[in-house]
A and B are shown apart, each in its own frame.
Chain A
Amino acid sequence: MKKLYLLLIAALLLVGILAGCVAENSGSSDSEGEAEAGGAEGESAGGEEGLDIAVVPKLVGIPYFNASESGANEAGEDLEGVNVNYTGPTQADASAQVKVIEDLISKNVDVIAVAPNDPASVEPVLKKAKESGIHVMDWDTPADKELVDLSVKQVDDEEFGRHMAQKLVEAMGTEEGEIAILTGGLSAANLNLWIEAAQKEFDENYPGIEIVSEKIPTDEKQQVAYQKTLDLLKSYPDLKGVLAVSTPAPLGAAQAVQEEGLQDEVSVVGSALPTDSAPFLEDGSLDTAVLWDPGKLGYLTVALGQMLAEGEMPEDGQEIEGVGEITVKEDGKTVIMGPPADFTKENAADFDF
Chain B
Amino acid sequence: MKELLKQKEISILAIILLIGAVLSFVSPVFLTIGNFLDIIEGNVVLGILAIGMTLIIITSDIDVSVAAVTTAVAVSIGYLFTYLPDSWISVLLLFLIAPVIGLVMGLVNGLLVSIIEIPAIVVTLGTLNIIAGIVLYITNGNYINSTSFPKSFMEFANYELLGIPILIYLLAIVAIGTWYILKHTLIGRSVLAIGGNTQSSVRVGIDYKKVKLFVFAYMGVLAGIAAIAQTAYTKAVDPNGMLGLELTVIAAVVLGGANIHGGRGSVHGTLLGVLLLAIMQNGMILARIDTYWQNVVTGAIIVIAVSYDHISYKRSQDKLAKIEVEA
Contact = CB atoms under 8 A, between A and B. Distances in A.
Nearest to A230: B38
Interface in B1-54: 27, 29, 32, 34-35, 38, 42
Nearest to A252: B234
A207 interface: no
A177 interface: no
Contact of B234 (A216, A223, A232, A278): A223
A63 B136 contact: no
A62 interface: yes
A227 interface: yes
Contacts of B140: 61-63, 66
A346 to B, nearest CB: 17
B141 A222 contact: no
A248 B243 CA distance: 13
Contact of A251 (B236, B286, B291): B236
Interface of B: 27, 29, 32, 34-35, 38, 42, 133, 136-137, 139-143, 145-147, 230, 233-236, 238, 240-241, 243, 281-282, 284-286, 288, 290-292
B238 A222 contact: yes
23 contacts: A62-B140, A66-B140, A66-B141, A66-B142, A186-B292, A213-B290, A214-B290, A214-B291, A216-B291, A222-B236, A222-B238, A223-B241, A226-B234, A228-B285, A234-B38, A235-B29, A235-B285, A235-B286, A235-B288, A248-B238, A255-B235, A279-B145, A279-B146
Contacts of A231: 38, 282, 284-286
A63 B142 contact: yes
Contact of B147 (A90, A221, A232, A279): A279
B267 to A, nearest CB: 24
Interface of A is mostly: helix
A132 interface: no
A61 B285 contact: no
Contacts of B243: 221
A52 to B, nearest CB: 24
Nearest to A275: B145
A227 B34 CA distance: 13
B136 A217 contact: no
Interface residues of A, number: 30
A345 interface: no
Contact of A90 (B27, B38, B42, B133): B133
Contacts of B38: 227, 230-231, 234
A333 interface: no
Contacts of B35: 234
Nearest to B142: A63
Contact of B136 (A61, A223, A275): A61
Interface in A59-73: 61-63, 66
Contact of A186 (B29, B238, B291): B291
A200 interface: no
A156 interface: no
A217 B234 contact: no
A99 to B, nearest CB: 17
A325 interface: no
Nearest to A216: B291
B288 A213 contact: yes
A66 B141 CA distance: 9
A215 interface: yes
B240 A62 contact: yes
Interface in A203-239: 213-217, 220-223, 226-228, 230-232, 234-235
Given A223-B233, A223-B241, A234-B286, A278 B292 contact: no
Nearest to B233: A223
Closest 10 CB pairs of A and B: A214-B291, A62-B141, A231-B285, A61-B141, A234-B29, A227-B42, A61-B136, A235-B286, A223-B234, A276-B143
A284 B62 CA distance: 44
B74 to A, nearest CB: 12
A275 B146 CA distance: 11
A230 B133 CA distance: 33
A278 B145 contact: yes
B147 A278 contact: yes
Nearest to A90: B136
B234 A255 contact: yes
A223 B292 CA distance: 20
Nearest to B291: A214
A217 B291 contact: yes
Nearest to A1: B116
B42 A223 contact: yes
Nearest to B284: A231
Contacts of A279: 145-147
A255 B38 CA distance: 13
A213 B141 contact: no
A271 to B, nearest CB: 14
A303 to B, nearest CB: 25
A62 B141 CA distance: 4
B222 to A, nearest CB: 18
A232 B147 CA distance: 27
Given A215-B291, A227-B38, A248-B241, 5 more contacts: A61-B137, A217-B291, A227-B281, A230-B42, A232-B285
